[in-house]
Amino acid sequence: MKLSSAEISHFRVALLISATLLPGWAGFAAGRAVAVDQVGYTCVGPKFVFAVEAADSFSVISVSTASVVFRSGITLWKSLDGATGRAVYRGDFSVLQTAGSYRVVTSHGDSSSAFTISDTVYAAAFRKALKGFYFQRCGMPLLPLYAGVYQHPACHMNDGIFHSTSDSAGQSHNAQGGWHDAGDYGKYVVNAGISVGTLLLAYEMFPSRFSSDDLGIPESGNGVPDILDEARYELEWFLKMQRADGAFWFKLTRTQFENFIMPQNDSGARYIYQVSTTATGDAAAVLAKAARLFAPFNQTFALTCLDAARRAWQYLAANQAIVPAGGFKNPSDTGTGEYGDSDDADERLWASSELFETTGELAYNTYFLSQYVTASKFSGAMWWGDVRSLALLTYLRSTQAAADANAKNTLRQALNAYCISQVTKRNDSGYQVVTAPGEYYWGSNSGALNAAVLLLAGFAETGESTYVKVAADQLHYVLGTNGFARSYVTGLCENPPRQPHHRPSASDGIAEPVPGLIVGGPNQFRSGDAVLDAIINSGTAPALCYADTVASYASNEIAINWNAPLVFVAGYFHAVDGPDAVGERQMDRPSKFLLEQNYPNPFNPTTKIQFTIVNRQVTIVKVYDLLGREVSTPVNEVKEPGRYTLEFDGSGLASGVYLYRLQVRPLDSAIGRDSKSGAGDFVQTKKLLILK
């Protein structure tokens, strides 16, 4: 993450010279005076332009014809925006719904970057952000077919050696694979936990938006959504980081950050550090979630994940106090990422929530209910140091019959209150971002995006469309509607980061950095960053504490836990169904009927059957023996659109193969009529196996 003292001194001198030559220097460039989302907007939905110079009006100009297609007034929005220290003017061009490429020009003569209006405008942003994880892969060659000019041989094939503070000190252990964590080449279970968890949450909440299988990674076309394939690459590494007793080793890094070299040239010893309960809790949660999501695609892998999650929980149950005492701290010889956290209660809560949702077992439910009552409830967006909101969200959305209705209602109210607070913060902001002065910390861009994740969850729970609009504003912010009028994502827009703190991008000899990676963004606290110290003083506004240079690790580094919510939010908005658009989309509606493979299978005596309903229709699930005799009808009722989980109890049946069938009929059909399919019915059948 950081640089050597010699490198820092070099950059400090260069920046001091630049600051002298450029009066009013803040960051490297203040960007254009007119800010828009440089990716663009969907055809229907809110569209705002922001300017820092007073003007009477603004015009939207077609890039292709140079003609004015829309003109309106621009008015003072905030006389003093606390985050940027400026007056901010705002114009509204939401009524422009014609697809095309445009620029905005104000009557003052200032102009914006180019942007697009299209119903698929965020498709490239979503795909690049998700593929950014592929470019972070460790332990495999990135081939030209998938990586293009960013290809490189396999790296770190000797991972790793147990550190002297760990068990089995000095011995080797195969921990190849996984993702490089950030701008460095380390691998950390804690930060990977929230990263994978966010990707899996995106697919679980909105499967129709994240089901594409054509991203251009080695696994594309295998019938598994690429977001799950990419998550699995990291999950396979998780499994290598689990000790025999269920605990997870904390990280795998060098003792000090490597130089700015390509990963295949990093030949130094890389160490596996001691186990920790924060890492174990995160891993248990993510693996339990993975078990239920991968079950329809690969039951063997799903069962492997569930077994690892159970063993992790057993370790947590046997070690009630945080391990190591006081939380993980770097040994004296180590200077790589510490991810210090002295409280593992949130990780344990998350693990219990995910294990309960996957298994339905009483012990996990009991633990969650005993602990969540004393915890804060949606008091803030999740980050690697506090995953409580992920735990609460999973329980709130639980499909388990044993989930406590009162607890879910309490959580729904708390989530709604959080969303209301974010609407207020958005309305107080000059650029409609929920990040307030005092909150521009290391990785502040991810704070806005993680808030957007919760806003979208709030919309799914309450139907309040304002929450979707505020979530969209956070995407607009990182793509251009900010104090620099720039994109914070590499390879996206007219003015993206060009010098991220990212070792491959800085050492591959290619002019443009690896695409699809979001940088941390403004950091008013500087965090020991010599670049920021050189160009920022006490009068610099919080949202302007940023520099697009390799040396600024505290504002311009990339990280997997920042990319994950970008994937979630861009993926949610990347395709528009019919007339709905950003800010106007209705609750996610499944796009097709589906009967999934039961899990576990074989089973004794219970298994889960998941199915998806597109419209409000009569829904029937029946189980038959191989002679075609009906043995059970667990579902026969009208159901709303959605994805359902049925727990089937086969305790009254003999061992053997059975058929289960989903039949969906138009609403005018009578419940309980003859089960022969009729016109307009959907019918799908699968096999299940009872072994006693």
Q: What pLDDT sits at residue 615?
A: 81
Beta pairing partners, 101: 116
Q: What pLDDT sits at residue 470?
A: 98
Query: What CATH number does residue 305 fall under?
Result: 1.50.10.10
Amino acid code (one letter) for 232: R
Among 545, 571, 588, the domain-final residue is: 588
Question: Are residue 14 and residue 104 in the same domain, yes or no?
Answer: yes
Question: Are residue 161 and residue 115 in the same domain, yes or no?
Answer: no
- Domain annotation covers residue 676: yes
- Domain annotation covers residue 638: yes
Q: What pLDDT sits at residue 11?
A: 40
Catalytic annotation present for 557? yes
Question: Are residue 498 and residue 606 in the same domain, yes or no?
Answer: no
Domain that holds residue 419: 1-121+404-588
- Domain annotation covers residue 305: yes
Beta pairing partners, 595: 611
Average pLDDT over residues 626-651: 88
Residue 584 confidence (pLDDT) above 50: no
- Domain annotation covers residue 134: no
Q: What pLDDT sits at residue 596?
A: 85
Q: What pLDDT sits at residue 56?
A: 94
Q: What pLDDT sits at residue 231?
A: 98
Question: Are residue 618 and residue 583 in the same domain, yes or no?
Answer: no
Q: What pLDDT sits at residue 627?
A: 84
Contact 383, 561 (CB under 8 A): yes
Amino acid code (one letter) for 269: A
Q: What pLDDT sits at residue 104?
A: 98
Query: What CATH number does residue 626 fall under?
Result: 2.60.40.2550
Q: What pLDDT sits at residue 680?
A: 57
Question: Are residue 208 and residue 149 in the same domain, yes or no?
Answer: yes
Question: Are residue 320 and residue 430 in the same domain, yes or no?
Answer: no
Q: What pLDDT sits at residue 179?
A: 98
Q: How far apart are CA 183 and CA 338, in angstroms?
A: 15
Q: Phi and psi for 311 in degrees, rounded to 5?
A: -65, -35
Percent pLDDT > 70 in the chain is 91
Catalytic annotation present for 501? yes
Residue 335 confidence (pLDDT) above 50: yes
Residue 26 confidence (pLDDT) above 80: no
Contact 245, 315 (CB under 8 A): yes
Residue 578 confidence (pLDDT) above 80: no
Global pTM reads 0.83
Residue 36 confidence (pLDDT) above 80: yes
Q: What pLDDT sits at residue 642?
A: 81
Which among 207-216, 586-595, 658-667 has the top mean pLDDT?
A: 207-216
Q: Phi and psi for 684 in degrees, rounded to 5?
A: -145, 140
Q: Is 438 left (phi over 0), alpha (psi -120 to 50) or beta?
A: left
Average pLDDT over residues 171-193: 98
Q: What pLDDT sits at residue 12?
A: 39
Question: Are residue 86 and residue 214 in the same domain, yes or no?
Answer: no
Residue 582 confidence (pLDDT) above 70: no
How many CA within 13 A on the CB side of residue 238?
34
> In three state form, how does the secondary structure of 35-96 look?
ECCCCEECCCCCCEEEECCCCCEEEEEECCCCCEEEEEECEEEEEEECCCCEEEEEEECCCC
E-strand stretches of 142-293: 161-162, 187-188, 248-249, 251-253, 271-272, 275-276
Question: Are residue 584 and residue 463 in the same domain, yes or no?
Answer: yes
Cis upstream peptide for 513 (omega within 30°):
no
Q: How far apart are CA 334 and CA 269, in angstroms?
A: 12
Q: What pLDDT sits at residue 388?
A: 97
Average pLDDT over residues 236-265: 98
* Cβ burial 254-275 (10 Å sphere, 16+ → b, else e): bbebbebebbeebeeebbbbbb
Average pLDDT over residues 347-374: 96
Whole-number average pLDDT of the chain: 91
Residue 13 confidence (pLDDT) above 80: no
Residue of 119, 439, 548, 596 with catalytic role: 548
Q: What pLDDT sits at residue 576?
A: 55
Contact 523, 442 (CB under 8 A): yes
* Both structure tokens of 624: 């038959």
Q: How far apart are CA 525 and CA 546, in angstroms?
A: 11
Residue 110 confidence (pLDDT) above 50: yes
Among 545, 562, 588, the domain-final residue is: 588
Give, to the nearest 10 degrees, the angle between helix 345-359 and helix 362-372. Answer: 140
Residue of 184, 226, 341, 473 with catalytic role: 184
Among 344, 379, 414, the domain-final residue is: 379
Residue of 501, 502, 529, 574 with catalytic role: 501
Average pLDDT over residues 668-677: 40
Question: Are residue 514 and residue 634 in the same domain, yes or no?
Answer: no
Q: What pLDDT sits at residue 639?
A: 84
- Domain annotation covers residue 138: no
pLDDT band at 76 (very low <50, low <70, confident <90, very high): very high
Question: Are residue 337 and residue 434 in the same domain, yes or no?
Answer: no
- Domain annotation covers residue 670: yes
Decide which of 677 and 292 is more confident: 292
Catalytic annotation present for 181? no
Average pLDDT over residues 550-564: 98
Contact 646, 619 (CB under 8 A): no
Number of compact structural domains in the chain: 3
Q: What is the dihedral of CA 91, 92, 97, 102, to 10 degrees?
A: 10
> Of 500, 445, 531, 477, which Cα lies nearest the Cα of 25?
531
Question: Are residue 419 and residue 359 in the same domain, yes or no?
Answer: no
Catalytic annotation present for 357? no
Lowest mean pLDDT among 51-65, 93-107, 513-527, 606-620: 606-620
pLDDT band at 685 (very low <50, low <70, confident <90, very high): confident
- Domain annotation covers residue 139: no
Residue 677 confidence (pLDDT) above 70: no
Q: What pLDDT sits at residue 24?
A: 32
Residues 6+ apart with CB under 8 A from 320: none
Residue of 234, 258, 386, 557 with catalytic role: 557
Residues 6+ apart with CB under 8 A from 584: 44, 45, 465, 468
- Domain annotation covers residue 129: no
Question: Are residue 563 and residue 579 in the same domain, yes or no?
Answer: yes
Residues 6+ apart with CB under 8 A from 200: 228, 231, 286, 289, 290, 293
Lowest mean pLDDT among 7-21, 151-165, 326-340: 7-21
